Chains A and B, each alone.
Chain A
Amino acid sequence: MIWDLLIAALLVISGLFGLIGAFGLLKLRAPMQRLHAPTKATTVGVGAALLASAGTAVLVGDAPWQEAMVAVFLFLTAPLTALYLAKAHLHGTVDRKGLPPTGTGSDWAGFTPPPQE
């Protein structure tokens, strides 16, 4: 009974954070700001859904290994997706003058020509 309630609560949390992520996408104005809402809200959203799934698996006597794997791959891929989107945005639309200096000898990698062979 208490476990059922816990799993139900996790599912509600999951849906709520998914909704907030989508709402953020709608509300925020600049493209870089929009990147924040979905990348973050979905981590807890999907995480809570995974916990609920793992909890159900344990209740019916299965081991929640696959949920653990989904979580691992989520943590590995979410930062990469965000980085690729940010880099594509920097490359296409952002003026170099709008960015701070690196403070090192060379410029940001996205604004440096590739090394010659």
Chain B
Amino acid sequence: MMRRLYPHPYLSLLLVMVWLLLVNRLALGSLVMAAFLATVIPLLTSAYWPARPRLQSPMRLVAYVALVVWDIILANIQVAVIVLFKPADQIRSAWITVPLDLTSPEAITLLAGTITMTPGTITADFSADGQALLIHALHAPDPDAVRDDIKARYEDRLKRIFI
């Protein structure tokens, strides 16, 4: 019964928290609204998200987020240097295929988002069978190195976080 009413309990908890933080004050009215949203949104979206993601080690996820935030700052400086100082005709952009070992949809989404946020790469498409990502690199003289770096730095960590 509870399982049917709350198909994603963590999502419901998260929605309550986010709503209370958004209104930024603790009142009965906001709590009622938060409970309403936390019930209705998971129910309405559960058809598109049938299985619960399973985490192997949540602490590693925190470490992963810290790593990605650090990489985002570095990425910004790298891209800023390319934009400011590299002549436009010397920028070697490339399409790169990244074959995936991950199978969990949540893990693949997280990897695709990470790629977009970090060093000069953007996720552009996904193979129809879900086994490869198409990414675009702003400046990649050696596309294979970019692919190996993504697999070693991000995918490997995600493999250990998600089952």
Contacts of A110 in B (CB 8 A): 125
Contact B112–A112 (Cβ < 8 Å):
no
The one of B22, B73, B126, B128 in contact with A44, judged by C-beta atoms closer than 8 angstroms, is B73
Interface hits, A10-50 → B, CB 8 Å = 17, 20, 23-24, 27-30, 32-33, 35-37, 39-41, 43-44
Per-residue interface assignment for chain A, residues 65 to 86, with 1 indicating a CB less than 8 Å from any chain B CB and 0 otherwise: 1101100100100111011001
Contact A66–B24 (Cβ < 8 Å):
yes
What DSSP secondary structure best describes chain B's contact surface?
mixed
Closest chain-A Cβ to B70's Cβ sits at a distance in Å of 12
Closest chain-A Cβ to B163's Cβ sits at a distance in Å of 22
Among B3-11, B42-50, B92-100, the stretch that binds chain A is: B92-100
Contacts of B134 in A (CB 8 A): 99-100, 102, 108
Contact A69–B124 (Cβ < 8 Å):
no
Among B30-38, B53-61, B77-85, B148-156, the stretch that binds chain A is: B77-85
Chain B's closest residue to A23 (CB) is B83
Are A29 and B76 also in contact (CB < 8 A) when A79-B112, A107-B128 are? no
Interface residues of B (CB under 8 A from A): 18, 21-22, 24, 72-73, 75-76, 79-80, 83-84, 88, 91, 93, 95-97, 99, 112-113, 116-117, 120, 122-129, 131-132, 134, 136, 138
Contact B99–A103 (Cβ < 8 Å):
yes
A109 to B125, CA, bound (A): 7
Contact B97–A101 (Cβ < 8 Å):
yes
Contact B93–A106 (Cβ < 8 Å):
no
Contact A109–B126 (Cβ < 8 Å):
yes
Contact B76–A44 (Cβ < 8 Å):
yes
Are A83 and B73 also in contact (CB < 8 A) when A33-B138, A39-B116, A41-B80 are? no
Closest chain-B Cβ to A11's Cβ sits at a distance in Å of 16
Closest 8 CB pairs of A and B: A24-B83, A86-B124, A79-B113, A79-B116, A44-B76, A106-B128, A102-B127, A104-B131
The one of A43, A104, A105 in contact with B117, judged by C-beta atoms closer than 8 angstroms, is A43
A77 to B138, CA, bound (A): 21
A97 to B126, CA, bound (A): 16
Are A20 and B88 also in contact (CB < 8 A) when A43-B117, A44-B76, A83-B124 are? no
A17 to B73, CA, bound (A): 11
A100 to B93, CA, bound (A): 13
Closest chain-A Cβ to B132's Cβ sits at a distance in Å of 5
Are A102 and B97 also in contact (CB < 8 A) when A32-B136, A66-B22 are? yes
Are A108 and B123 also in contact (CB < 8 A) when A20-B80, A43-B117, A98-B95 are? no
